[in-house]
Every structure is written in structure tokens, then in C-alpha cells.
Structure 1
Amino acid sequence: MLLLSLHPCFYSGRADNNTSARTHFTVTDYFDGRTVQQHLRVAEHTSPMPTVQRFYSLEQYVGMLTGAGFVITGLFEPHPTTNQMSESSWWRENFIAPLFLLIECTRPA
């Protein structure tokens, strides 16, 4: 099984996505979890309905997966390649911390 999520440690939501929020944001609700509700923006279009993301601590994610009988076989933070970062100012400006968390797991037979 693959679990792909916005990174619970670093994703702060579009409402907080200004210059200072991209390098500093409040983490006081990290252990309690948090919900981010926002409209998606793609190619200058905004979704009519907001998306809702629920974030948990890493400890909670691991507990939910292992509690359901899964064994974690990999943990990844997908990111641009070194070449992409060096060739594109967009990547350098917008990917200053991991935005995604990918957990790979299996359930033993």
C-alpha cells in the first residue's frame, strides 16, 4: 500500500503561503493534528469547492498503519532533482521544504 499525503511537518496551507510562512509557520498544533481547508488553484483556475486535508503527527500515522496490521517498508519525501533545482527558479522558490510524505507499507499474509 502507498500512502501519499501533503507533508504533516511542513505543509501549512495556501492561506499561510506567503513569503514568511514558507520559511516559518506555527507548529503548536502539530501533536493535536490540524485540518486545512482551501480551494485548489491550478493554471489560474480556482476550484469551486474547497478541499479538506486532515494532518496527523508522524507518530499518529505510524500508529494507525501498524495498528491496522501494516508493516512500513519505506518512507520517502519526494522532491525535485538537483538538476531541476539548479535549472528552475520556480523549484528553488517553491520547494524549500518537503511538501509531500510517501509511506510504503505491506500487510503480512
Structure 2
Amino acid sequence: MIDISDSDVAKRWNGNADQWTRDVRDGFDVYRDQFTFPAFLDALPPINGLDVIDFGCGEGTNTRAFARLGASVTGIDLSTRMIEHARQTKEADPLGIHYQVGSYSDHSGLPDASFDAVLSTMALMDGPDLSGAMREAFRLLRPGGFLLFSVLHPCFITPGLGWEKDAVGRATGLRVARYFDRSSFTEHWRFGDRPKDEDVIPFAVPRFPRTMGDYLNAVVSAGFVLTAIGEPQPSLAACEAVPRFARWRDLGAFLLLVTAKRPSA
């Protein structure tokens, strides 16, 4: 097992940041655009007028969407380069967002009980200390505030994932293996909709596999009360726009959404 620290994660995402930002803003992240972020918004309670912090905000696309819903938003991310991109966009399109470099698993320096909601979109599976992130989320929330996060579904996106295919290459089943293998590793990939002949260096993305129990127990152990678990399927419209999404509609779950509340007393 190779231990990957916060500093390793920051280094990787600093290296990914420029290409990632271009790709996301050029529409190559079709999973986010067509599926994972719309599903997150469907699960999100109204946030107009609320103080919100976005854990693992990256270059800020989702953070800006939260601000446009009427929230007063803070974004935090380990990657200085990602935050630089977020701040540059802030200058061109001011939405009153405060961006901060730091780990969502450490004490951020922000005051206790200073937010109504902690949100995180597809980021918590990429950090080594989930329990620390949950404790920091609990500390930052006001009594009665809520936590909502999305991650790759731990029961299906396992280290031994593989597709079973028929004679013409059509996916007929999903192979899940090594569910309990929590060894951290770095995954190398590029957005699938980029032209195949483009000379693009693959992203290096640290991964920290966990079980469903690891996620839910970290939430409960921090003091939260679980209020909803979501396992959304891609919509029919999304499957028409991106046909390969049908695999995740028919054969296995790609996304896990967890909602929890800090008790009022």
C-alpha cells in the first residue's frame, strides 16, 4: 500500500489544474454536465440566502453555480493552481465568492458554526482523511445546518471494476471486485470525449477507495444525523446525449449522494 498525503494530492492537482480547467470549461466533462451535477442539484435543498462552503471546489464551476442560486459561498481546495483559476474567473464574473487554499480535512481557520450548509461534489473520494473532513464539516456548520456530498459509488466503482461485454462490444454486466481493498493509488485518465488523436497528458488523480460503511460511519461518527441516501440514475435525456451513460442506468450505480444534518441541540 502506498500512502498518499495531502501534499501529494495538492501536487497532483496543481499539475492537473491547467488542462482540467480548460477541459471543464470547454464542455469535455460530460459526466458532470449531463449527470453528476444535475443529480446533485436535484438533491440540494434551497440555498438562497444561506452561507455555504464548497469542500474541494477545484476551479470553481460548481461553486459559481451555488452562488447563482443565491448563496453566500466560500470555496476551499488544496490546489493553489486550481484556486488561482477560480479567482481569475471571479475577477471576470464577480459573484462574491471567497476562495481559500487548504485541506477540507484540516481546521480551516474559519470560525465555528459559520455556515448553514457544507457541500462537496465528487471530491471527498480524492482525499486521504474522510473522518477529518466530516469533523471539520460538523465544526463549521451551525446547529440545524446540513451536509450534502457526492462521491463515486463505493459499491460499484471498486479497484477491480470491469465491464462484461457481448460479441459486438456492448456492455452486458458490471464486474465488481476488491471491494475491501482500501489501498490508495493514482489513476491516470483523460476526458473520454476529447479527440483521440490529441496529444493530451492524462490527469493524475489520487484515489482512496472506501466501502459504503466507511462513508456512512464517518458521517455518523462526526455527530451528524443521516437524512437521505441517493443513488441516482442518468436521465433518459442524458443517455440519449451520451449513449454510454446507459451502462450506469441499467447495470450499476455510478453516483452516491449523502445528506446529513447537524442536530439543532
The two structures have a TM-score, normalised by structure 1, of 0.71
Q: Match for residue 66 of structure 1?
A: 220
CA distance in 1, matches of 2:151, 2:248: 17
| TM-aligned CA deviation for residue 48 of structure 1 | 4.2
Residue among 234, 243, 253 paired with 1:98: 253
Given the alignment of the two structures, is residue 31 of structure 1 paired with residue 184 of structure 2, yes or no?
no
CA distance in 2, matches of 1:39, 1:89: 18
Residue among 43, 46, 50 paired with 2:193: 43
CA distance in 1, matches of 2:205, 2:258: 22
Cα pair distance change 1:69/1:93, threshold 3 Å:
closer
Given the alignment of the two structures, is residue 6 of structure 1 paired with residue 152 of structure 2, yes or no?
yes
Q: Which runs of 4+ in 1 moved over 6 A?
A: none
| RMSD of aligned alpha carbons | 3.1
**1:18-51: per-residue Cα shift (whole Å, max 9, x none)?**
x428624342x31242445232315316564311
CA distance in 1, matches of 2:203, 2:239: 36
**1:38-85: per-residue Cα shift (whole Å, max 9, x none)?**
32315316564311222211111111110111111000012123x438
Q: Whose strand proportion is higher, 1 or 2?
A: 1
CA distance in 2, matches of 1:41, 1:51: 12
Instruction: Give the secondary structure class of the aligned counterpart of 2:252.
Output: coil
Cα pair distance change 1:86/1:38, threshold 3 Å:
closer
Instruction: Give the secondary structure class of the aligned counterpart of 2:175.
Output: coil
Higher Rg of the two aligned structures: 2
Q: Whose helix proportion is higher, 1 or 2?
A: 2
Q: Is the 8 A contact 1:41 1:47 kept in 2?
A: no
CA distance in 1, matches of 2:153, 2:220: 19
For structure 1, which runs of at least 5 residues remain unmatched after alignment? Answer: none
The two structures have a TM-score, normalised by structure 2, of 0.33
Count of residue correspondences: 105
Q: Is the 8 A contact 2:226 2:261 kept in 1?
A: yes
Percent of aligned pairs with the same amino acid: 23
| TM-aligned CA deviation for residue 86 of structure 1 | 7.9
Q: Match for residue 84 of structure 1?
A: 237
Given the alignment of the two structures, is residue 20 of structure 1 paired with residue 174 of structure 2, yes or no?
no
Name the amino acid aligned to 2:149: L
For structure 2, which runs of at least 5 residues remain unmatched after alignment? Answer: 1-146, 166-170
CA distance in 2, matches of 1:16, 1:57: 14
Cα pair distance change 1:49/1:74, threshold 3 Å:
same
Q: Is the 8 A contact 1:3 1:104 kept in 2?
A: yes
